Amino acid sequence: MSFLKTSLPVVLASASPRRSELLTQSGLSFSVDVSDSDENCDATDPQAYVMELSKRKATAVCEKHPNSLIIGADTIVVYDDEILGKPKDEKEALDMLMYLSGRTHRVMTGVTLLRTSDTGILLHKTFVEITNVTMYQNDRDFLQRYIQTKEPMDKAGAYGIQGMGALLVEKIEGDYNTVVGLPLARVCRELADLDPQ
């Protein structure tokens, strides 16, 4: 079976336009059903944390989509085992970006894939992909100008690599799409493994 085609409907349990753009790029047909799952998680290990949130997103919508393939995903930025979420205001965005400046951090995207039947979840797989991102030594004025664009405000770690935030990044090691929010190539291959075709 081609990983660009599935025999079952595909549902993305995410409001992220970036994840939708990536799935569209793959050629897969899919619908979006935004999860309203609880994102408060007690896990302290970053990998466990991001996988748990992806699992919650996928399972929150699965009852509405029998005989489907569900994708749940969550992305976090981690430096020195500290999870950096979305900034609550411009000051916190600046603090995060100054903290990451000149350093290498990890971006983790947890993904949960569910194959549902008429009676519930038939198969599931949860995994995490990790990409290392090294930032240039960015000065405060440069970062403040970036924050004024408002781009950082809805993004983990206060930057978007697929937008103007790319100007902050010196290099990456790993899958670029993991940083954007969905490790597309692996997702498509794992979906193919779950498909009954």
| Residue 9 near residue 69 (C-beta atoms within 8 A) | yes
Active site residue 141: no
* Six token digits for residue 192: 């193919």
Between CA 105 and CA 89 the distance in angstroms is 21
The per-residue DSSP string of 46-92 comes to: HHHHHHHHHHHHHHHHHTT-SS-EEEEEEEEEEETTEEE---SSHHH
H/E stretch holding 144 reads helix 140-148
* Six token digits for residue 39: 């994102």
Catalytic residue selected from 38, 45, 74, 139: 74
Catalytic residues: 74
